Structure 1
Amino acid sequence: MPTQRIALVTGANQGIGKQVAKELVADGVTVFVGSRDLARGKEAVADIGNGATALRLDVTDAASIASAAERIDREAGRLDLLVNNAGISTTRTDVDMAGFRALAKPSTAPLDDLRAVWEVNVFGVLAMYQAMLPLLRRSSEARIVNVTSALGSLTTVADPTFALHLAFEPIYGASKTALNAVTLSMMIELEGTGIGVNLVSPGFASTALTNFQGTDSVEDAAREVVRVARLGQDGPTGTFTSWNGMTIPW
């Protein structure tokens, strides 16, 4: 593992993003820890350790993204790894997961909530891609890892026997389907460039995203994201895998 590899992980002040940043730093990677709240980012960096740098980054704010790109350019001159981890499932704070699913049906889904979630999960990822691609092009082993969900797999959720078949909804679930489509477009655009693009569905972790109702540890949930993030220049691109390393159908 190159000791001077430069990485950016969005939404890295907590949960899976923080775990990914921690493991990459342990590998000797220099990691920019993206956080909407800089103070929380600095708290996370204090726990992650040497090699981590807090970076104020709101993926829904064009000025914030541009400022982050400028700082990485100024301090590192390139980017070897972009992990688009930032994501939300709802803006509602008054309901648990069961309540969210009851509200999120196509017939009742609050459109303001849908727009806010898609702004982070879909448009935020594309905005990051556009801003960071010039820095990634300067790397000899660039890779983009987009963190999604198995709920975004149309083939999977269309199967009536799938455990979460009835949980698919237009707010979070469909935002991940859209993210998968956007990721596929990135894969196609970057074919033959040497820049790898991978899509990973982490485990069902007990994090803020799941209102701490997940069943997997953060370490287990982040395992595949970390594995793919560690891939070198000759590692596979264009893959869509789950937390346990299995291929997920589109």
Structure 2
Amino acid sequence: MKTVLITGANKSIGFETARQLLQQGYYVYLGCRDLQKGQQAVDQLKSEGLQHIEPIIIDVDALDSIQEARKILGTKTKSLDVLINNAGISGSFPQTSLDTDPKVFRQVFETNFFGAINTTQAFIDLLRQSPEPRIVNVTSGLGSLTLHNDPTWKYYHVKGAAYTSSKAALNAYTIVLAYDLRDTAFKVNVVDPGYTATDFNHHSGPGTVPDAAARVVKAATFGPDGPTGQFFSDDNSPETGISPW
């Protein structure tokens, strides 16, 4: 049975991603910062008949928490097939380039960028033990620098200085990560789940959580001939599903 660790998975898109992967036969380690909330999420999925799941405490803002999660997971499995870096925050809005407190930038980058890096580096040894390891970094369509510089883009005026920068940085890291793992069985990609109605955006998005999670699941389950080093976004590029960087 393939295994997957999903950070920030006790609610919203992460939770639905866990559900869909369970339905496909994966064993899910549901990453959460709060054990009670994580256990509630696990209990909900088990009540649906999805039994191969357990919570793992992991706060991606804290390196010691990530390292402890790695230690615990190492006692449960000798390999990890999929890592989904889903945990993320938006920071306070509005975020202009001149007025946003640098503390907000640091806070957002700590979760969205450094959190993903620290988690990837902590679990890379378990991933290397999988015959078909997959890493999915959950990004945003707002992380596209190309589109942000295009006045005709539908989200051109949505400029969250800290959030946009953090996702663009995550995209850049993913490109290098995919390059460094190019001669291995790894598939490393970033996925924009789309403008989805969640508490992340006060339920303002038009997309649904199941559709958003399905995009993440698709990249997590690529076969050996699947792509790597790509930025997938049905929202940015509905024709091809591949967003410009």
Normalising TM by the smaller chain, what interval?
over 0.9
Residue 63 of structure 1 and its aligned partner are, at CA, apart by 1.2
On the 8 A contact 1:205/1:215 being kept in 2, the answer is: yes
Runs of 4+ in 1 over 4 A off after TM superposition: none
**Partner of 2:45 in structure 1?**
48
| SS of equivalent residue, structure 1 residue 60 | coil
Instruction: Give CA-to-partner distance per residue, 1:59-91, whole Å, 9 cap, x none.
Output: 01111111111121110111000000000001x
More displaced stretch, 213-222 vs 170-179: 213-222
TM-score (structure 2 length as normaliser): 0.93
Hey, what's the Cα distance between the residues in 1 that align with 2:57 and 2:22?
A: 18
More displaced stretch, 237-246 vs 159-168: 237-246
Amino acid at match of 1:110: D
Residue 234 of structure 1 and its aligned partner are, at CA, apart by 3.0
**Partner of 1:83 in structure 2?**
84
Residue 46 of structure 1 and its aligned partner are, at CA, apart by 1.0
* Alignment of structure 1 residues 58-137 onto 2, 5 Å: 58-90=59-91, 92=92, 100-101=93-94, 104-137=95-128
Amino acid at match of 1:71: I
Residue 134 of structure 1 and its aligned partner are, at CA, apart by 0.5
**Partner of 1:97 in structure 2?**
none
On the 8 A contact 1:168/1:174 being kept in 2, the answer is: no
- Aligned with residue 211 of structure 1, among 202, 207, 214: 202
Hey, what's the Cα distance between the residues in 1 that align with 2:83 and 2:170?
A: 15
Hey, what's the Cα distance between the residues in 1 that align with 2:223 and 2:44?
A: 27
Amino acid at match of 1:231: F
Instruction: Give CA-to-partner distance per residue, 1:153-197, whole Å, 9 cap, x none.
Output: 111111011121121232111110011011111011111111110
- Aligned with residue 22 of structure 1, among 19, 22, 32: 19
- Aligned with residue 225 of structure 1, among 194, 213, 216: 216
- Aligned with residue 34 of structure 2, among 34, 37, 40: 37
Residue 150 of structure 1 and its aligned partner are, at CA, apart by 1.1
On the 8 A contact 2:20/2:214 being kept in 1, the answer is: no
Where structure 2 has 5 or more consecutive residues not aligned to the other structure, the ranges are none
Residue 232 of structure 1 and its aligned partner are, at CA, apart by 2.4
| SS of equivalent residue, structure 1 residue 107 | coil
On the 8 A contact 1:140/1:233 being kept in 2, the answer is: no
Residue 112 of structure 1 and its aligned partner are, at CA, apart by 1.3
Where structure 1 has 5 or more consecutive residues not aligned to the other structure, the ranges are 93-99
TM-score (structure 1 length as normaliser): 0.91
| SS of equivalent residue, structure 2 residue 55 | strand
Aligned length: 237
Residue 21 of structure 1 and its aligned partner are, at CA, apart by 0.5
Instruction: Give CA-to-partner distance per residue, 1:21-56, whole Å, 9 cap, x none.
Output: 000011110010000111111111111221111111
Residue 108 of structure 1 and its aligned partner are, at CA, apart by 0.8
Q: What is the percentage of aligned positions where both structures have the same residue?
A: 40
**Partner of 1:248 in structure 2?**
243
